Every structure is written in C-alpha cells, then in structure tokens.
Amino acid sequence: MSQTMAAAARDHLPRTREEQRHALVEAIHLFAALGYSEGIAGHISVRDIENEDAYWVNPFGLDFHQVTVDDLLLVGNEGVILAGEGELNPSVDPIHGELHRARPDLVAFAHTHSMYGKTWSSLGRKLDPITQDACALYQRHGIYSQFLGLVDARREGKAIVEAMGEGTAVIMQNHGFLAGGRSIGEAAWLFIVMERAAKSQLMAEAAGNPLKIPHDVALDTGRALAKIEFAEKQYRNLYDSTCGRR
C-alpha cells in the first residue's frame, strides 16, 4: 500500500469520542444495508476513546437501521450503563465485555446473526483457505463449539474469548460469527470477509470439492491482507458506495 493510501486510511480513524460514536453508527448502518441484522439480535461495540474500561454499543430492541448516536450506550464493568438511556442486551457484556477486557489489542467487536455466518456456524468447522480473500481468516479464527442457548453467563463469554485465542474472529457454533479489529472499520470489514467467505465455501461445496490453497501460501497471503490500512480502505469504500459519502 502506498504512503498516500495508508495516510488516507488513517484519516478515517476517530480522534474524539464524538467521531468514534459516529463511526460506530456508520458501521451499524452498513450492516443494516448489507442485510446482516436479524430482528433485535446483534451488536457492534467499540472501546471508549476516553475511558478504556468502558465501551459503546447499540441498545437492545432497536433495529440496526434505526440506531442513532444518541441511542448508543456506554457500558462499564459488570455491564453497568454509564451513559445512555436504552436497555442493554443481556448477551452484550458477557460477550463484548469479556472480549474488551481480555483483548486490549483490539478496539472493536462485531457480532450478528447474518445469513451465511449462522448457516456456516451450524457445521462446527473453520472456514478453509479456498480463495485469496479467505486467506485473511486463515489461522486467525477459532470455534466456540457449544450452543447453550442465549448467551447470558460470564463464564460462556470467557469460553468465547478462549476460543478466539490470539486470533481476531470466532465462529460461535449454531449461532453466528464474531470478529474483532484494531478499529471499527477493521472489525466490520473482517466480519464482512467472513460472511462472504462462508457464502463462497457453501456454494463451492454444493458444486463439488473446492481445492485448498497450500498452508504456506495461505499464511503468507493472509499476512499480506492483514494490514489495518487495507481493512480501513476497503471498509470505507464499501460504506461510501453502499450508504453514501459522509
């Protein structure tokens, strides 16, 4: 990536709490436009730029299309709402709270019940490196191989953290996908890559036996694709073309 492109990508990273909150709503609206919402399920969170022990998240019961900056909740330790007047989804802090506390290297996390993600999750398998794009996930995602109903226990959130390991994404069996990133854009883009990879592999396996990219090639390709500048640029391009330029 050129220095110009990298600088342009960095220009979109929030520098203030207000910019961060607007960026979070943009990601939520993009997911709505892409059809990733499923009723009242799903959440995207970002660690607060002013208080690293807290994070912003969309409220419970409000469709992704309808979320505004004023609707966002600031959540602290043990799921205590520090700002905002909406209701917190009971699954949010057991999942996002544990992730934010365990992964200080990641800023944002996205989880929804998207069609291909939840379909693939029922197979209890990782995604394979069958395309160049899927290599971005190779050995960077894990599987939480249980389904115990609605996630409302902190111990289950800790198990999801463990399943993610040092990677940036996890397949929650019989549930859906979850992705994290060093920025809101990176988390959202990785989730989109996962969703598209699931769709691609489901189609390929329906047609035949897709060939896997060799291990070393998949690793090298994944490392090349894992730059935050790539994710930010591709996320911004998709947002602009789907939801319109800011």
- What does the pLDDT read at residue 95? 93
Contact 111, 177 (CB under 8 A): yes
Nearest to 44 by CA among 17, 66, 25: 25
Which pLDDT band, with edges at 50, 70 and 90, does 152 fall under? low
62 pLDDT exceeds 80? yes
- Tally of helices (H runs) and strands (E runs) in the chain: 9, 8
More confident residue, 39 or 24: 24
pLDDT on residue 184: 98
pLDDT band at residue 12 under the 50/70/90 scheme:
low
What DSSP character marks residue 133? G
Rg (CA), the chain: 17
Per-residue pLDDT for 6 more than 70?
no
pLDDT range class, residue 157, cuts 50, 70, 90: confident
Q: Which has more pLDDT, 145 or 216?
A: 216
Tell me what the pLDDT averaged over the chain comes to: 92
What percent of the chain clears pLDDT 90, i.e. is strictly above it? 82
pLDDT, residue 228, reads: 95
Q: Is the pLDDT of residue 28 over 80?
A: yes
Whether the CB-CB separation of 38 and 114 falls below 8 Å is answered with yes
pLDDT of residue 16: 94
* For residue 4, pLDDT beyond 70: no
Q: Is the pLDDT of residue 8 over 70?
A: no
Q: Please, which pLDDT band fits residue 154 given cuts at 50, 70 and 90?
A: confident
Question: What is the rounded CA–CA span in Å between residue 19 and residue 139?
Answer: 33
Model confidence band, residue 81 (pLDDT cutoffs 50, 70, 90)? very high
- 7 contact partners, CB below 8 Å, separation of at least 6: none
* Structural domain total, the chain: 1
Domain hosting 227: range is: 3-243
Indicate whether 230 pLDDT > 70.
yes
pTM (2 decimals)?
Answer: 0.93
The CA-based dihedral angle spanning residues 79, 82, 87, 89, taken in that order and rounded to the nearest 10 degrees: -30
pLDDT band at 14; cut points 50, 70, 90: confident
User: Does the pLDDT at position 84 exceed 70?
Assistant: yes
CATH of the domain at 53: 3.40.225.10
In the predicted model, what is the mean pLDDT of residues 41-69?
Answer: 96
Percentage above 70 pLDDT, the chain:
92
